[in-house]
Amino acid sequence: MITIIKEFRFEAAHKLPKYKGPCANLHGHSYRLLVGVSGNINPETGMVLDFKILKEMIEPIVDLMDHSYLNGIDKDDFPCSNPTAERMVEWIVGNLLASDLENKLNVDLELIRLYETDTSYAEWRA
């Protein structure tokens, strides 16, 4: 099994009303999202999965958050009341697993890592 990882970037603003400190105020981040999937190498293509196909699966999620006010996202399951990096990772994983990504692409979701700053991130691993 080989794991491939695709990186995405987006800008968004939020506030954390349940946090006692400066992050309770409106502020923004330049987020970096890493999505890793694993599988066997296809002997014909030499790839686990074409990065373009992975990008097409992830872009709707990124597009929803890009240049948005995260607390204002009007989607039932989005953690808009307290959009921490941890809650956003949990939401991304849930959406990808619900989309049947693994069966559609014949891969296993292995990693979601969301950088809120250059040195701070939340991560989910299978």
- Give the residue numbers annotated as catalytic, written as ranges: 23, 67, 116
Q: At residue 98, what are phi and psi to the nearest 5 degrees?
A: -70, -25
Q: Tell me if 39 sits within 8 A of 1, measured CB to CB.
A: yes
For the CA atoms of the chain, what is the radius of gyration?
15
Q: How far apart are CA 105 and CA 48, in angstroms?
A: 10
The DSSP string of 19-74 is SSSGGGS-EEEEEEEEEEEEEPPPTTTS-SS-HHHHHHHHHHHHHHHTTEEGGG--
